[in-house]
Chains A and B, each alone.
Chain A
Amino acid sequence: MKTSEFEQGRNILMGVSLFLISFLLLRTMYIFSDSIIPGMSHLYNLYSGNIAPNIITVILFDFRGYDTLGETFILITAVITTTMVFGWGSIKEAFKKKESLTMTEKSTVIQKLTAFPMSMLLVAFGVTIVLGGHITPGGGFPGGSVIATGYFLSVVIYGLRKTPFRFTHKFLINLSTIGALIFLLTGVVGLVFSAYYHGTGYYLYNTGVDPYQIINIGAFGWDNILDYPDPTHPGVLPYLNIGVGFNVLAGLSLIAMFFMEAKKDE
């Protein structure tokens, strides 16, 4: 296949860019090996208990903080993809669709009576998992999923139009964005404060616990104003869970909503 001059030039440009990026990445990795202090991992394991209340939280938000951040944005990407595939035009409500009664007609009286109380209890249980995420193997992701399950139960039983949970696209998109921003900005707080006081910034630094004694902003009887008020003193970790919880509950509810709307188009 003959390629045009424009495509040839673009391929050359792509090749040169790839070579440059590869060279820089490999060089950075080579230099980085000089900065590694032997035994640092052992030291960290000794002191990690001062940063978070237990080893699960240390792994989840300190060893794998960026992983959790990545998961948050993977979810946003999944929601965008689902919107484009199944919810085409439904965000701006370009198409006024007719209510389909196929789901609601199948619901029995017992289902209709119990679904709403069950949904409320599921929402509360999800919030419990979110808020206990730093002391149990829970967290924002499973908690948000349970809350979205409560919404989905209600939608399946009552139908999208008659459900007591009147979530709108705009509300869920705002909630998802706020959740992701809470996570990002909490990380930036650590970056800014530790850079200001210590010279080097640490993204997702636990400013509420402050293991290096960099920030000592006390108020209202607290040692540190950013510390989450509970007996375990986990710092900013519950706020990260709360942000992820908002993001996941809104993202999964949006996906459920788009699936239901896609059903109506048939």
Chain B
Amino acid sequence: MSSEAAALGLANQWGPILFGIVYGLIIGYKIDSEEINKAKYPIILISALLIAMALGTYPDYQWKLFDKVIRFSEAFFSTIIGLFIMMLIRRQ
């Protein structure tokens, strides 16, 4: 972990991010990518952002950026990202 990341309070946060993406990739492998379209992409992403902000209340899992506490559930959002990545790969 770089010193910049540690200074920003991002050190050791990437366990839930990594395993969220792994879960998303595994489940997304079996999702039909044709179902997702230009209308559903932003709806799911914006909803995911809002829900992730609402879920980010675990005291140990909050991010600190420039002395400001950012409430954001990285496990939730990284799962959505993992699902999208695998769906995009499967579409190719």
Taking Cβ atoms with an 8 Å cutoff, the residues of A that contact B are 53, 116-117, 120-121, 123-125, 127-128, 130-132, 135-136, 147, 164-168, 171, 175, 221, 228-232, 238, 242, 245
Contacts and interface: CB of A to CB of B under 8 A. Distances in A.
7 contacts: A117-B44, A123-B27, A123-B79, A124-B76, A125-B55, A128-B20, A166-B32
A179 to B, nearest CB: 11
Nearest to A166: B30
A168 B12 CA distance: 36
Interface string B57-84: 0101100000000000101110110010
A171 B26 CA distance: 10
Q: Which 3 A-B pairs have the closest CB atoms?
A: A229-B15, A164-B35, A124-B79
A204 B73 CA distance: 29
Interface string B19-45: 110011011001110011000100110
Tell me the dominant secondary structure on chain B's binding face: helix
B48 interface: yes
B83 A231 contact: no
B30 A229 contact: no
Contacts, number: 97
A171 B61 contact: no
Interface of B: 1, 12-16, 18-20, 23-24, 26-27, 30-32, 35-36, 40, 43-44, 47-48, 51, 55, 58, 60-61, 73, 75-77, 79-80, 83
Contacts of B76: 124-125, 127-128
B18 to A, nearest CB: 7
A221 B16 CA distance: 18
B15 A166 contact: no
Given A128-B79, A131-B75, A231 B13 contact: yes
A228 B60 CA distance: 14
B75 A231 contact: no
A128 B75 contact: yes
B32 to A, nearest CB: 4
A116 B35 contact: yes
Contacts of B51: 121, 124-125
B50 to A, nearest CB: 10
A131 B19 contact: yes
Nearest to B80: A124
